Amino acid sequence: MEKKIKELEEKAKVIRRHIVEMIGRCGSGHPGGSLSAADIITVLYFHILKHDPGNPKWENRDRFVLSKGHAAPVLYAALAEAGYFPKSYLKTLRQIGSSLQGHVDMLSLPGIEMSTGSLGQGLSAANGMALAARLDKRSYRVYAIIGDGESQEGQIWEAAMTAGHYKLDNLTVILDHNKYQIDGHVEEIKGIQPIADKWRAFRFNVIDGVNGHDIKAIIKALDDAQRHKGKPTMIIAETVKGKGVSFMENRPTEFHGKAPTKEEVIKALEELI
Amino acid sequence: MAELASTRDAYGKTLVELGKTNKNIVVLDADLAVSTKTSLFGKEFPDRFFDMGVAEQDMMSTAAGLASCGKVVFASTFAVFGSGRAWDQVRVSIAYTRSNVKIVVTHGGITTGEDGATHQANEDIAIMRAIPNMTVIVPADAIETVNVIKSLVKEHGPAYVRLSRLATPVIYSSADYDFKISKGVTISPGSDVSIIATGIMVSLAKVAAQQLEKEGISARVINIHTIKPIDKQLIIKCARETGAVVTAEEHSIIGGLGSAVAEVLAENMPVPMIRVGMMDMFGESGPPQELLEKYGLTSNSIVLAVKNVLKRK
């Protein structure tokens, strides 16, 4: 297990390098919220999810929905590393004709389960997949990552009510709780606290206080979620926006939707060795 | 007076019939199942029916999730909510993904009546028509509704179908006519003018044509049930052969059938044209028939429009 954790930590570093490089190259994108989710995505794609990059439409695969669709680069990096498409393709991010759209597009890229970008919609879609699994008596699980700013969308709470009402225990939702949104600190813009209580009130099993950058802690939370019956699970992952790149961590709002310069990319890659 | 039949009843019954053989059909509603008649399906197949509560946006994206796992999903509510309230969810979750979700709404147009302006969808065709990948259909009667629903199940992809609250005059004697999505239907021949109508206005166009015939005017009546993709060839042919067009719809004259026909004619076969429909204004509470009179959605309005358009021929 220690070896596996070491491997995953290395993989997360590789994914962070891809994120910085691809956003830097194209000159636009969302580095902060991609970097904050990098460890969670790494654990999902390289340890938890039952999936087959050679057969992306395998019927009993686990489904993953990136409800915070602007973090597309972290998912593209993971899919490329997993073998869904060549890593060289990451260079085409946000370019005309590329399948690597600014926000994820399920029709153009294998491995994307739902097109997202307009916040709140992905969680509802994940519920639909979980209901389908139940109807078809299939064992696959559904995972969704949502964001802090996204938690201000009304649809998140409509979807929360649905998952709670239908007791979707084949659904695990992870909140990438990095505390920032484009305009600033979430609690200053429009506070979402007490967030764990909110999800409990919406009939979720809540696992809070999980260090979203500690591979071992992420694995444990996801395993616990899978074992919990009768309710969907919300994992509140405490994360740092821009995690892994010191100057992005210190300026979280500046690097929400802004690409690093060439010099910043070089500096960031030096930190991610 | 023609026989009346409810398009929403026809929808509910057809869903039940299809559900018996197609186990992939799943139906969602947003707390209006009794009104939209999806409750019939829910009663017969409770495991494949989900009442999403008063949460239309959640319903649309959930539908997309179910469809991504191979389900044929019907999502129903009132027209105002299925179009306007959940427009972005329809756009991104359903249309952008080309999901196999059929949005079938009831209570389209002013004949929603007593509930008033908030519940009268006069703009839904316009806003749904603007979304790429979306098919937009307004059946003319209950029989056509059955044909529409059965055809949609055979075709993969999103669609918006607008039904009425009221029972609608029956146009067709049987379901066995030349029905095809995107193909307009010639209801009656004529050579002086073409009345191109959709939904409940098709029956009023028929009445108008009979009235005009008595006055020596030969009006052709066309039913455009599919507003998108529209039957361009038929519309151009009508304009060429009759030289004047009147459109009739229970919808705003902005963005609906009238606009769609005008777009086709302006680029291909410009002829004098008048749109009969809801002017650019909100409705109000009242009995449906009285509202139709007040807002000019009558056979007389169509007759008047024909006479006016012929002056410009």
Chain B residues in contact with A159 (beta carbon < 8 A): 58, 61-62
Of the candidates A247, A190, A215, which has an alpha carbon nearest to the alpha carbon of residue A32?
Answer: A247
Domain end among B122, B140, B169: B169
Nearest-CA distance A113 → chain B (Å): 8
- Whether ipTM tops 0.90, in short, is yes
pLDDT value for A266: 96
Q: Which of B48, B58, B77, B91 to mutate to test the interface with A (most CBs of A within 10 A)?
A: B58
Same domain, B285 and B248: yes
Domain end among B169, B202, B232: B169
Same domain, B36 and B156: yes
pLDDT value for B250: 98
**CB–CB of A132 and B66 under 8 A?**
yes
**CB–CB of B62 and A159 under 8 A?**
yes
* Distances, alpha carbon A41 to alpha carbons A84, A144, A237, B288, in Å: 15, 10, 12, 55
**Residue B132 near chain A (CB below 8 Å):** no
Same domain, B225 and B134: no
Same domain, B294 and B258: yes
Domain end among B135, B169, B203: B169
Same domain, B43 and B162: yes
Any idea what the CATH number is for the domain that residue A102 is in? Answer: 3.40.50.970
Render pLDDT for B279-310 as a digit per residue (tens, 0 to 9).
999 999 999 999 999 999 999 999 999 999 99
pLDDT value for A257: 86
What is the residue whose two structure tokens read 């960031």? A268
Chain A residues in contact with B81 (beta carbon < 8 A): none
Q: What is the pLDDT along chain A (273 residues), one digit of tens a residue?
A: 899 999 999 999 999 999 999 999 999 999 999 999 999 999 999 999 999 999 999 999 999 999 999 999 999 999 999 999 999 999 999 999 999 999 999 999 999 999 999 999 999 999 999 999 999 999 999 999 999 999 999 999 999 999 999 999 999 999 999 999 999 999 999 999 999 999 999 999 999 999 999 999 999 999 999 999 999 999 999 999 999 999 999 788 888 889 999 999 999 999 998
Which residue of chain B has the CA closest to A122? B61
B209 in a domain, yes or no? Answer: yes
Separation of alpha carbons A181 and B54, rounded Å:
29
**Residue A166 near chain B (CB below 8 Å):** yes
pLDDT more than 90, % of chain B: 98
**Cβ–Cβ pairs < 8 A, chains A and B:** 106
Q: How many CB atoms lie within 10 A of CB B178?
A: 7
- Binned at pLDDT 50, 70 and 90, residue B2 comes out as confident
Same domain, B158 and B256: no
**Residue B245 near chain A (CB below 8 Å):** no
Any idea what the CATH number is for the domain that residue B259 is in? Answer: 3.40.50.920
Nearest to B57 among A127, A128, A158 (CB): A158
Residues near B154 by Cβ (< 8 Å), separated by ≥ 6?
none
Render pLDDT for B132-177 as a digit per residue (tens, 0 to 9).
999 999 999 999 999 999 999 999 999 999 999 999 999 999 988 9
**CB–CB of B98 and A107 under 8 A?**
yes
- Do residues B256 and B121 lie in contact, with contact meaning Cβ atoms separated by under 8 Å? no
Same domain, B100 and B195: no
**CB–CB of A132 and B63 under 8 A?**
no
Chain B residues in contact with A166 (beta carbon < 8 A): 50
**Average pLDDT score over residue span B29-42:** 98
B97 in a domain, yes or no? Answer: yes
pLDDT value for A48: 98
Domain extent, residue B67, equals 4-169
**CB–CB of B58 and A107 under 8 A?**
no
Nearest-CA distance B147 → chain A (Å): 27
The token duo for B221 is: 């009546």
Same domain, B165 and B96: yes
B291 in a domain, yes or no? Answer: yes
* Distances, alpha carbon B88 to alpha carbons A99, A117, B158, B194, B223, in Å: 22, 11, 14, 36, 30
Nearest-CA distance A34 → chain B (Å): 21
Same domain, B252 and B295: yes
**CB–CB of A115 and B97 under 8 A?**
yes
Separation of alpha carbons B78 and B32, rounded Å:
8
- Do residues B251 and B122 lie in contact, with contact meaning Cβ atoms separated by under 8 Å? yes
Positions of B marked catalytic:
56
Same domain, B141 and B70: yes
B125 burial type by CB count under 10 A (0-12 exposed, 13-18 middle, 19+ buried):
buried
Nearest to A155 among B48, B58, B91 (CB): B58
pTM to 2 decimals?
0.97
Any idea what the CATH number is for the domain that residue B156 is in? Answer: 3.40.50.970
pLDDT value for B1: 57
The token duo for A178 is: 């990095």
B75 in a domain, yes or no? Answer: yes
User: Which run of H or of E encompasses A201?
Assistant: helix A195-201
- Do residues B77 and A123 lie in contact, with contact meaning Cβ atoms separated by under 8 Å? no
pLDDT value for B241: 98
Q: How many CB atoms lie within 10 A of CB A203?
A: 16
User: How many domains does the structure of chain A reveal?
Assistant: 1
**CB–CB of A125 and B47 under 8 A?**
no
Same domain, B215 and B148: no
Nearest to A135 among B48, B59, B62 (CB): B48
Separation of alpha carbons B129 and B230, rounded Å:
10
User: How many domains does the structure of chain B reveal?
Assistant: 2
**CB–CB of A121 and B61 under 8 A?**
yes
pLDDT value for A256: 86
Domain extent, residue A70, equals 2-271
Same domain, B157 and B257: no
User: Residue B268 — φ and ψ, nearest 5°?
Assistant: -125, -40
| Average pLDDT taken over every residue of chain B | 98
pLDDT at B38 over 80: yes
**CB–CB of A128 and B66 under 8 A?**
yes
pLDDT value for B280: 98
Of chain B, the end-to-end C-alpha distance in Å amounts to: 32
- Do residues B122 and B278 lie in contact, with contact meaning Cβ atoms separated by under 8 Å? yes
pLDDT value for A255: 87
B180 in a domain, yes or no? Answer: no
pLDDT value for A254: 87
**CB–CB of B65 and A107 under 8 A?**
no
Chain A residues in contact with B88 (beta carbon < 8 A): 118, 121
Separation of alpha carbons B195 and B221, rounded Å:
5
Of the candidates B180, B23, B29, which has an alpha carbon nearest to the alpha carbon of residue B103?
Answer: B29
Chain B residues in contact with A114 (beta carbon < 8 A): 64-65, 68, 93, 97
**Average pLDDT score over residue span B185-191:** 98
Separation of alpha carbons B178 and B176, rounded Å:
7
